[in-house]
Amino acid sequence: MKTRTLIADDEPLARERLRQLLSEQPEIELIGECADGRQAVEAIHKNSPDLIFLDIQMPELNGFEVLEAISAEPMPVIVFVTAHDQFALKAFEVHAVDYLLKPFDRDRFGSALRRALQQVRSREDPARVEAQAAVLSEMQSPAKPLDRLAVKSGGRIRILRIVDIAWIEAAHNYVEIHEEKQSHLLRGTISAIEQKLPADKFVRISRSVIVNVEKVKELEPHFYGEYTITLQNGKRLTLSRRYRNKLPQLGVG
């Protein structure tokens, strides 16, 4: 029996690429394509696919919201497809079988497809169904602060522990995440990542910098309400006077 497969991606070229690669697979039956999240939900309810290649950033509903909106049992096997690596950790938390980062080559696609087909064959396993249902239920609860962060490094996705981050700095359309001896670029804004971090551990000290409270060694006051913050690794940062209300979070009464 062929694996009933659905493509959901708002980019025509991305859908064409997936369609071409899937057409070369004799075990695949392509049952449809969707250009936004609402179309995807409707197609899933109507056609009950075994496997979905699901984009994360789409109009109407994103990929995670699509999963929240469906109630198929057993759940389809999910391979996320996206141009952005910051969603990798959450993708695996919802039991996606793989995460294709655009642009991907034929070998990388083949690897993802093999894993997906193996999961299709075992997707009625009660333990897997129960685990995925539990995670999807948790997604509908208020978001919890991050304790790990996924970043792309050297062509791979690396998982950083939040506690190891010393400070974060805005860099145009990216944020630069600094550990003690390394730094990593992540696409996004400083405000967006601030909302995801535990507020009792990370403090915004200027328009462009967030600091890990546990990494602060000392604060030195200056004129006009500014402070110099020295981290444990010797890095010196400035707390601007606009953010003086954050001093109590840094231990200054």
Q: What is the pLDDT of residue 199?
A: 87
CATH number for 3-139 (one of 3.40.50.2300, 3.40.50.12780, 3.30.300.30, 3.40.50.11060): it is 3.40.50.2300
Residue range 190-227, pLDDT digits in tens: 887 888 888 889 999 999 999 999 999 999 998 778 99
Q: What is the pLDDT of residue 95?
A: 65
Do 3-139 and 148-250 share a fold? no
Residue 167: is its pLDDT beyond 90? yes
CATH code for the part of the protein at 148-250: 2.40.50.1020
Q: What average pLDDT is seen over the chain? A: 84
For the chain, the domains span: 3-139, 148-250
Q: Answer yes or no: are the C-beta atoms of 168 and 175 closer than 8 Å.
A: yes
Spatial separation of the C-alpha atoms in residues 133 and 204, rounded to whole Å: 36
Q: Answer yes or no: are the C-beta atoms of 117 and 109 closer than 8 Å.
A: no
Q: Answer yes or no: are the C-beta atoms of 158 and 166 closer than 8 Å.
A: no
Pairing of strands 77-82, 51-55: parallel
Q: What is the pTM of this model?
A: 0.52
Residue range 77-126, pLDDT digits in tens: 999 998 877 666 666 666 678 888 888 999 999 999 999 999 888 765 55
Spatial strand order in the sheet of 98-101: 28-34, 3-8, 51-55, 77-82, 98-101
Q: What is the pLDDT of residue 121?
A: 84
Spatial separation of the C-alpha atoms in residues 187 and 87, rounded to whole Å: 11
Q: Answer yes or no: are the C-beta atoms of 101 and 14 closer than 8 Å.
A: no
Q: What is the pLDDT of residue 94?
A: 61
What DSSP element (H or E) covers 145?
none
Q: Answer yes or no: are the C-beta atoms of 77 and 116 closer than 8 Å.
A: yes
